[in-house]
Each structure stands twice: as C-alpha cells, then as structure tokens.
Amino acid sequence: MSDASVHTALRSDAPLVLVEAPAGCGKTHQGADYARDVAADRSNRLLILTHTHAACSVFAERTRGSGSRVEIRTIDSLIAHIATAYHLGLGLPADVPTWARRTPDGYRHVALRVAALLKRHPMIATALAKRYPVVICDEHQDCSGDQHALGMAMLDQGARLRVFADPVQRIFKETPLAGSTPAQDWVALTKQVHAFEELDTPHRWRSGCPDLGRWTLLARTALKNGGKIDLRNNLPASVSVVVAENQARRNMEYQLAPTDRRVIDAFTRSHASLLVLTRYNETARSLRAFFNRRLPLWEGHTRSALEKLVDAITAGNADCPKLAAAVVTFMNDIGKGFSPSAFGDRFEKEVREGCTTRSRGKPATIQELARFLLAEPDHRGVAKLLARLAELKQGDADFADIEMDHSREFWEAVRLGNFEDLEAGLAEITHRRTYGRPKPPDAAISTIHKAKGLECGNVVVMPCDSTTFPDREDARCLLYVAISRAKERLMLVVSRADPSPLFQL
C-alpha cells in the first residue's frame, strides 16, 4: 500500500473506503486533497466529520477556497443539528445543545436517540445523503457505536464514505449507555469495507527529522502489538530520555529536585516551538507552576469551568450566597490563589451578611467585590466582579498571587456580562470560539487529549510513570498520540522508582 493507492481508492466508485492512518503519515493531506477535488466539481457537496475542534481547524485551513461546497463540523454538532430538527419526536427541548450540556452524558444520550431515529425513519438519512453525497469521517476510531451508526445510515442511503482511522489513537473511549449501538469492531470493519488501504510513509518528519519519524512508527508497532518501547539503545539523536523522580507529595502534582530539572529547563527554554504534554488536567496545572508560569496552558475548545459557572448562576436564581460560592469554585477551577482560606471564605461571608461590617485594607476590598453581586445578583454582577478582580491582581499587592491559568476561560466569563441573556451569551461565545478556530501558543503545556490533532517542533512528555501510562489499551493509545506530536525533538521524562510498564529501560 502507498500514497498513490490511497489516492486512487479515495477517488474510486467504492461506496465505503477505509484508510488506516498512523499519525503524521499524510491523512489530513490525503483527506483535504480529496475534498478539494470533490468541491472542484460544483455539482458536488462534501461533509467532513471530525471529533475535535482542533481537527476542524486543520481541515478548514487545508481546504480554504472551497467555499460552501465543503462543510466541516464535529460529529456531535451534526447529531445535535439533527436532534434539534426532530426534537419533539425525540422528546427533547428545542435547545438541544444546552440540554446536552446540562445533562450527564448529554451528547451520548442525544446520539443514542438520533441513531434510533435514523433506524426508524431512513428517509431522514436519505435527505442527509442527498445533501452530502460524499462524507469524510476523520479519526473514526473514536466514534461511539451510535456515532458510527449515523455514518452507516448515510452510506445505506447512497452516500460515499471515506473513513480515516487509527486504532492506536483511540483516546476518547467511553462506556456505552444502556440501549446504545455496540461500538464498531475494527477488524470486522476492515473486512466489511469495499476498499481498505493503509498509509505508512512518515511525511510529518520528512523536512525535519526522518529518523524520529521512523522511530515513532516502530514505537507505534510495539504499542499496537502489546509490547514495550525500547529506550535502552538505538534511539535516534532526536529522542532524549531524562530519568527523574517526582518529589511532589500530592497526587497528580509534579515537582523535581533542582539537579533533576536542569536538563528539562534547558530544553524548554531553547525551543520556540514547544509542547509539554501530560495526561491529567491536575498534572497540567501543576506543571504550569513547575515552569514558574512562563508556559501557558493550551485550553483547547472546551470550557468545562465556564459551563459549570453558567449552570450555577442559572440554578442560583439571584441567590447571592449561591452565586458567591459559584465564583469561588470557578476561580479555583481556572487558577489558583482565590482559595477559601485566602479570599473565598471572607468573600462568601460578606455576601451572606450584606457587607454590613466596616472594614479596611484587604477586607474592605473583598467587600467591594461582594457588592457587585449584591447590586446585580446575576451573570452581569459576576462578570463585573471578575473584571475588577483582574484589575486588582495587576494593581493590588494583596491580590498579586491570584493566577488565572485558564485565562481565555476567565475572560469569556467576563464577556458573558455583555449579553442580556446568559444562555444566549454562552452560545454566542461558544460559536465565536468554534468558528474563530483558536490555535495554541507557540510554547504551551497541554493534556494529551487537547493536543490531539496538533503537531509541534519539540515535545516533552512528562511524567512517564506507571500512574500516567499503566499497561492498559487507553494508556498505550495516549502514549502514542503524545510521542507522535513531535516533528523535530522528543524528550521523555521517565521514572526508575515508578516506571511505566510501556517502556523498556
């Protein structure tokens, strides 16, 4: 199999073409090139379905100029769109995205209902297939059974499906809901398709470091086959291994002795294009402090703390103490320093008591913040409070230690105050973020999940221990996604005291 055979298969009359696509082997190039060819025939319209907004951004950039003949969206957004059109029959409110956001596993429940709807009423899938006669399904390994059923329903009604997937990058695996469609079996799917191809040329590294590309594919093979990545010998010069032991006492946090961190600091300071990748959000926050906050967090597209704040404001229903508690929670979700002991307890007390006690200094300033909620017990009061808090951080020594690690999320909460309706404001801000397609900073810290679909010149993966990468399928996939982001240099920070079983040291 080769690039040429994949190119030919995509343009064939085969209804269903499946391409196994390891990271960096030209999947996006092949998909975007095919999309442009389809769009060049003005009678055709093509839909690209992805799982992440990062992937949407990449495809949008690669298909620029194709206009409305190429539509790019996440599969969740398409499912929500269908559910909105048929919400009465599905027993859902008209605002399906808001319902899905507020409901535990909301989008999975919507996908389950939409899959059943298409099975009962195939004419809906027929309409979709007529609107989108060609569909590219990107990162299809992350599809749930119900999401997969959507594509198969369109295939059954005449659409041509071009599926790109890599079972070694399946990192968004979830427990299925009762009654949902079983997840697709990869081996069975390869036997059902009309054409199966595999990309195997490491294009991502062609202009940077070919040896790193070849090593990454060998590492993928080892992980796919249940083996270990051998770090003992034959490493390319572009891969460095640092042995360092985590000194942090709290779970998920990270700290090293000064002598152990010197080589890591030197590496991160010497490269302008840099991603520091880790598995857990808590560890990412800890690494922000580890690097003395000189590296920002890549926040991606999701805003879980902002959504939680919106829900709390709505549920609070002008109850000032509840709004105060929501603000304290939000500040601790997106940063540090506004803790209960430092600010939160006194802030909530002042809100409860109506700022009736005369105060001076820091307590008086906390009262100033509390009065925003007392004057406007809604999202506008919260927004004004947060904006003032940002000013205090810059100009008041008592507030200087407050950090907004998720700065974009913080300022989006402030912007909510510009809208009359809270839910409409959140929807508009989310819409702008989606179609603005934000890109990560040149140097940043990120979780592996949020880095999916990205690539970077230099990557540090830390910590590579048994907690982060145990011997489980999901950890194997996460490790492969992490190491395959690097185009030029890769640093692995490993532990001998608590080694990951996925490495041979």
Cβ–Cβ < 8 Å for 429, 415 = yes
Cβ–Cβ < 8 Å for 144, 172 = no
Confidence label for 453 from pLDDT (cuts 50, 70 and 90): confident
Section 421-430 average pLDDT: 93
Q: Measuring CA to CA, how many Å separate 350 from each of 4, 72, 370?
A: 69, 49, 6
The predicted structure's pLDDT at residue 67: 81
Where does 193-344 have alpha helices with state H?
210-224, 258-269, 281-290, 304-316, 320-334
Is the pLDDT score of 91 beyond 90?
Answer: yes
Is the pLDDT score of 436 beyond 80?
Answer: no
The predicted structure's pLDDT at residue 66: 82
Tokens of 90: 């599905």
Section 232-248 average pLDDT: 94
Secondary structure letter of residue 51 according to DSSP = S
**What whole-number percentage of the chain has pLDDT above 90?**
83
The predicted structure's pLDDT at residue 315: 92
Domains, in order of start, for the chain: 1-201 (3.40.50.300), 207-298+441-494 (3.40.50.300), 304-436 (no CATH)
- Rounded to 10 deg, the angle between the 407-415 and 379-395 helix axes is 130
Is the pLDDT score of 333 beyond 90?
Answer: yes
Cβ–Cβ < 8 Å for 38, 134 = yes
**Cα three-residue angle 45-46-50, rounded to 5 degrees:** 155
Secondary structure letter of residue 177 according to DSSP = P
Section 449-474 average pLDDT: 94
Cβ–Cβ < 8 Å for 165, 190 = no
Confidence label for 434 from pLDDT (cuts 50, 70 and 90): confident
Put the strands of the sheet holding 160-165 in their side by side order.
70-74, 46-50, 134-137, 160-165, 16-20, 195-198
The predicted structure's pLDDT at residue 235: 94
Is the pLDDT score of 218 beyond 80?
Answer: yes
- pLDDT, averaged across the chain: 93
Residue 313 to residue 42: CA distance in whole angstroms: 48
| Residue with the two structure tokens 């027929």 | 126
Section 335-342 average pLDDT: 92
The predicted structure's pLDDT at residue 1: 61
100-152, pLDDT tens digit by residue? 988 999 999 999 999 999 999 999 999 999 999 999 999 999 999 999 999 99
Is the pLDDT score of 332 beyond 80?
Answer: yes
Residue 108 to residue 406: CA distance in whole angstroms: 27
The predicted structure's pLDDT at residue 65: 83
Is the pLDDT score of 374 beyond 90?
Answer: yes
Section 400-411 average pLDDT: 95
The predicted structure's pLDDT at residue 302: 87
pTM score, whole prediction = 0.90
The predicted structure's pLDDT at residue 184: 83
The predicted structure's pLDDT at residue 433: 87
Residue 321 to residue 186: CA distance in whole angstroms: 51
Which string of DSSP letters, residue by residue, matches 215-237? HHHHHHHHHHTT--EE-SS---T
What three-state secondary structure class fits 368?
A: helix
Q: Is the dihedral of CA 353, 357, 363, 368 positive or negative?
A: positive
Secondary structure letter of residue 359 according to DSSP = -
Cβ–Cβ < 8 Å for 228, 501 = yes
Residue 317 CB contacts under 8 Å (≥ 6 apart), including other chains = none
Tokens of 29: 């190039």
Secondary structure letter of residue 454 according to DSSP = -
